[in-house]
Amino acid sequence: MFGPALGESIPRIAREKGALDLQVHDLRAWTASRHGKVDDRPFGGGPGMVLACQPVADAVRAVRAMDADPGRLVFLAPEGRRFRQAVARAWAGEARRLLLVCGRYEGFDERLYRLLSPERLSVGDFILSGGEIAALAVVDAVARLLPGVLGCPQSAETESFAEGAPGLDYPQYTQPAVYEGLEVPEVLRSGDHARIARWRALQAEERTRQWRPDLLPRGAEGPDAPRPGEGGGLDGRGGSVTAPEGPPPRPAPPPPGPAPD
C-alpha cells in the first residue's frame, strides 16, 4: 500500500529533493510468533483482534535505536487528538524524526501506551480498515510543508487552513473564460491586482462563513450561521446534517381534569 502512494506526487518530489526520508517497517519482522502473528484475541471476549505488545514494542524500540534521535512517536488511533493543519505545520518545522505506528483491527493492547508513552492521533471520526491510509494522509500533509518541496511556496500560505488565513480558500477558476454560459468573474480578468486581492479575501471569508463557520473566530460567524453539528455545517462525525425547519413544536397541553362539583 505504501510503495505506490509514496512514489507519487508530493511525497516523491520531497524524497527526490532530499527533504524527506521515508522508511516503511513491517511489524511481522519483529514478532516472536513462528506463524508471523502480530495480533491475538481480546481478553474478555468480543469480536476482532488486538495488536499484541511484543511485536509492537520490539519494533518501536528497534526503529528508535536506528538513529540518535528517537523521534516523535505517534500511534494512529481513534481516541487521539484530531490531526489539523496546525499540527502538520508544527511537525514540518521540527528537525526530528516522526514515527507513525498504524493501528489495525480492534487497536493496540492498552499496555503499549504505558510502555512506550506515544502520542495519539486521529484523522477523523470515521472507521478505516487500518491506520495505513491515515499515515499516508499525515505524511502527505507534512511533506508538502517542508522547505523547498512545493514549486510555489506561496501555495502553502494562501490555501485552505493556512496559517493566518480566514479558513477556506477563495474560489478558483481557469480557462476558458466562458463555459456552457458560465463566466469567470470579471474582477479576475481585470488585471487589477489590488482589487483581485480584496475580492479573494472577501470570497474566502464568505465561503468559510457559508460552509465552515466553525473555522471563523468566535463572534464572526454571523447571527444566522449554523453551529457545528447543526444545519449547513458538519456534525461531530464529519457527515452532513439537515437544517432544522423551525423551532421545535410546543408540547401538547395536558388533558383537562374532571369538572368541579
Kindly list the structural domains of the chain, giving each domain's residue range(s) and its CATH number in brackets, ordered by start.
2-143 (3.40.1280.10), 166-234 (1.10.1270.20)
Q: Which three cell numbers stand for residue 207?
A: 465561503
**Amino acid in the structure at residue 89:** R
Q: Which three cell numbers stand for residue 23?
A: 522508511
Nearest-angstrom CA–CA distance, 161 and 43 = 42
Find the distance separating the first CA and the last CA of the chain, reported in whole Å.
Answer: 83
Average pLDDT, stretch 176-185?
A: 95
pLDDT at 226: 45
Average pLDDT, stretch 95-118?
A: 93
Classify each residue of 138-171 as buried b or exposed e, where b means 16 or more C-beta atoms within 10 Å of its C-beta. bbbbbbbbbeebbeeeeebeeebbbeebbbbbbe
pLDDT at 230: 39
Nearest-angstrom CA–CA distance, 11 and 145 = 11
Nearest-angstrom CA–CA distance, 106 and 24 = 22
pLDDT exceeds cutoff 80 at 135: yes
Q: Does pTM surpass 0.75? A: no
Place of cell 471563523: 216
Nearest-angstrom CA–CA distance, 59 and 50 = 16
pLDDT exceeds cutoff 50 at 72: yes
pLDDT exceeds cutoff 90 at 40: yes
| 195-254 pLDDT tens trace | 999 999 999 899 989 998 988 876 555 545 444 433 333 222 233 222 333 344 444 555
pLDDT at 39: 95
Residues 29/60, Cβ–Cβ less than 8 Å: no
- Of the pLDDT bands very low, low, confident and very high (cuts 50, 70, 90), residue 10 is confident
pLDDT exceeds cutoff 80 at 160: no
